[in-house]
């Protein structure tokens, strides 16, 4: 087992990883930028190293600085968390070169799944259903229009190197496609250093269903069932739950087996997630694979009792998976809401100082937090300041618990999305599991617009 792990990340996920390390008796090393000197995760670690100024390109995404800190600290492994360097094959390679174990898959698997075009081709070859669209990179706007004509509008214009909802744009018809394709490609080149684009058909009335996987280096692969993450804004998840409110046992088995097959096809190791889009007839299509720990991993932990971070560390240390598929059972229902520092109506970020923070406590309530009272939420990083996770015997009871917990979740000094979360979880369509990826637009935003119209006409 490792003696010391460096966490190449920040915020709530750094704190989360430190917790599992402590449980395993492993020492922890935090790295931080100028903006995170006072951050909670830095205090939680046994040691910490400053790695540069606030912008991520100069600190958390600066491979040289992170590796340098790992060497200075004498760490024997690196956990990349999610985002930042977690899906950069070059970082995993740099770790290997310095004899640091990268807690994640092999660089080749990261690379294969990191290019969305290559991932689609790989999965298609493995017999996994993929979203209809282009199988090769789209050269220019003319080719994009030709493909869209063939598969039918609306289509998504996507960056091969994109992810996390960034680098994708909807085109309803040929006119908007022609307008938006060049800009989206240009933006992708600027943001990801790769302007390669592809086209996918929009699956209408879709749900986002994903399967959590664990794979060791001896060829053992298990799935930890599905999560439903359909409630999204700006193509980013807001509410996630496990299990899905609509997936029945037969479909669950099929989803799990398909995901395991996908992982085997690429010789995957460590924790990973296969994301699917599911249509109204419950046909599902491969969307992408996340070759890392996910933000929403706690809901799976709650229903299976598996500590996913602990498993990641053990797998990376060369242990065999101690979990057998047949021994995994779903126990109750868990829901996670992401707490974002943002305006609940425009979704614009709201940085600032948290003057007061009061959290709900009680049975079935779990917090993952990036902040504490008097913390400064800076404009440099993602707006997520915490996650509220509830678990109960049934979906209905979990929703009830969540409503109460949100009522007692008070953040002062900055704006948060809590008012929106409250509205969503008390909506009858949410209670009925009528959760499509368009939920926020269909019910929440439309409701706000109607309210405004009413006020105007008064």
Partner 1 sequence: MTEVKATMAGSVWKIIAEKGKTIKSGEDIAILESMKMEIPITSSSDGVLKEWKVTEGDFVDEGDTIAIIE
Which positions lie near partner 1, rule CB under 8 A?
Answer: 166, 234, 341-343, 346, 348-352, 379-383
At 148, give phi and psi (nearest 5°).
-60, -40
Pick the catalytic residue: 292, 320, 338, 449?
292
CB of 54 to partner 1, least distance (A): 11
Q: Which is nearer to partner 1, 4 or 180 (CB)?
A: 180
Instruction: Residue 214: name the closest of 77, 85, 78, 105 by CA.
Output: 105
Q: Retrieve residue 319's tokens.
A: 């242990």
Q: Which is nearer to partner 1, 93 or 343 (CB)?
A: 343
CB 103 within 8 A of CB 29: no
Provide, rounded to whole angstroms, the least separation between the CB of residue 350 and partner 1.
6
Length of the chain: 458
Closer residue to partner 1, CB minimum distance, 187 or 422 = 187
3-state SS assignment for residue 355: coil
Q: In this structure, which long-range contacts are made by residues 170-174, counting pairs with CB atoms below 8 Å and at least 24 apart in sequence?
A: 170/202, 174/145, 174/148, 174/149
Q: Which helix (H) or strand (E) holds 340?
A: strand 333-340
Lay out the sheet containing 284-290: strands in order across: 284-290, 270-278, 207-215, 221-233, 236-242, 333-340, 384-392, 365-369
For CA atoms 333, 250, 307, 295, give the dihedral sign: negative
Smallest gap, in angstroms, from Cβ of residue 187 to partner 1? 10
User: For residues 49 and 347, which CB has a smaller minimum distance to partner 1 in the complex?
Assistant: 347
What residues pair up with 368 in beta bridges, in sequence order?
A: 387
Which two tokens mark 307?
């500590």
By beta-carbon proximity to partner 1, the closer residue of 325 and 378 is 378
* CB-based contacts of 154, cutoff 8 Å, min separation 6: 170, 171, 172, 173, 202, 204
Would you state the structure tokens that stand for residue 402, as one six-digit string?
Answer: 């969540």
292 is catalytic: yes
Shortest CB 418 distance to partner 1, Å: 17
Nearer of residues 97 and 348 to partner 1, judged by Cβ: 348
Q: Closest approach of Cβ 351 to partner 1, in Å?
A: 5
- Smallest distance, Å, CB 352 to partner 1? 7
Instruction: State CA 435 to chain mean position distance.
Output: 18
Q: Which of 250, 256, 170 is nearest to 210 (CA)?
A: 256
Of 46 and 376, the one with the shorter C-beta distance to partner 1 is 376
| Neighbour count for residue 223 (Cβ, 10 Å) | 24
Number of H helices, E strands in the chain: 16, 20
Instruction: Considering the complex, state which of residue 295 and residue 390 has its C-beta at the smaller distance from partner 1.
Output: 295
Q: Where are the alpha helices (DSSP H) in 369-445?
A: 395-407, 418-425, 428-431, 439
Smallest distance from the beta carbon of 52 to partner 1, in angstroms? 18
- Report the C-alpha gap between 446 and 106 in whole angstroms: 45
DSSP, res 349: B
Question: Nearest distance from residue 287's CB to partner 1, in Å?
Answer: 21
Catalytic amino acids? 292
């Amino acid at each position: 087992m490792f003696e010391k792990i460096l966490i190449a990340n920040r915020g709530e996920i750094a704190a989360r990883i430190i917790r599992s390390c402590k449980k395993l008796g492993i020492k922890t090393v935090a790295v931080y930028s100028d903006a995170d000197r006072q951050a909670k995760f830095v205090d939680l670690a046994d040691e910490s190293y400053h790695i540069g100024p606030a912008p991520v390109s100069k600190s958390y995404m600066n491979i040289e600085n992170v590796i340098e800190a790992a060497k200075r600290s004498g760490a024997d492994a690196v956990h990349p968390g999610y985002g930042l360097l977690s899906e950069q094959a070059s970082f995993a390679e740099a770790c290997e070169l310095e004899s640091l174990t990268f807690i994640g898959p092999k660089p080749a698997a990261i690379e294969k799944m990191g290019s969305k075009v290559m991932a689609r081709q790989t999965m298609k070859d493995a017999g996994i259903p993929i979203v209809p669209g282009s199988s090769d990179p789209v050269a220019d706007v003319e080719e994009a229009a030709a493909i869209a004509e063939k598969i039918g509008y609306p289509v998504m214009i996507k960056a091969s190197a994109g992810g996390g909802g960034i680098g994708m744009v909807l085109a309803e018809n040929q006119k908007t496609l022609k307008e938006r394709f060049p800009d989206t490609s240009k933006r992708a080149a600027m943001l990801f250093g790769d302007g390669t684009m592809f086209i996918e058909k929009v699956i209408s009335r879709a749900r986002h269903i994903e399967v959590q996987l664990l794979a060791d280096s001896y060829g053992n692969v298990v799935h930890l069932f599905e999560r439903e993450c359909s409630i999204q804004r700006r193509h980013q998840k807001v509410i996630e739950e496990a299990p899905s409110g609509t997936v029945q046992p037969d479909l669950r088995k099929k989803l799990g087996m398909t995901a395991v097959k996908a992982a085997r096809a690429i010789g995957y190791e460590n924790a990973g997630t296969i994301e699917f889009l599911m249509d109204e007839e419950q046909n599902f299509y491969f969307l992408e694979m996340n070759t890392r720990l996910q933000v929403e991993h706690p809901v799976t932990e709650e229903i299976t009792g598996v500590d996913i971070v602990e498993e990641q560390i053990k797998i990376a240390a060369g242990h065999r998976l101690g979990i057998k598929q047949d021994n995994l059972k779903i126990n109750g229902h868990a829901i996670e809401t992401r707490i974002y520092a943002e305006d609940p109506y425009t979704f614009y970020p709201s940085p600032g100082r948290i003057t007061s923070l009061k959290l709900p406590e009680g049975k079935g309530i779990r917090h993952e937090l990036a902040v504490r009272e008097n913390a400064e939420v800076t404009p440099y990083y993602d707006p997520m300041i915490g996650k509220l996770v509830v678990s109960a015997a049934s979906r209905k009871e979990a929703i009830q618990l969540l409503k109460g917990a949100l009522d007692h979740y008070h953040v002062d000094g900055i704006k948060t999305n809590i008012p929106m979360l409250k509205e969503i979880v008390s909506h009858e369509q949410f209670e009925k599991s009528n959760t499509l990826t368009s939920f926020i637009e269909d019910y929440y935003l439309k409701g706000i617009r109607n309210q405004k119209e009413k006020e105007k006409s008064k």
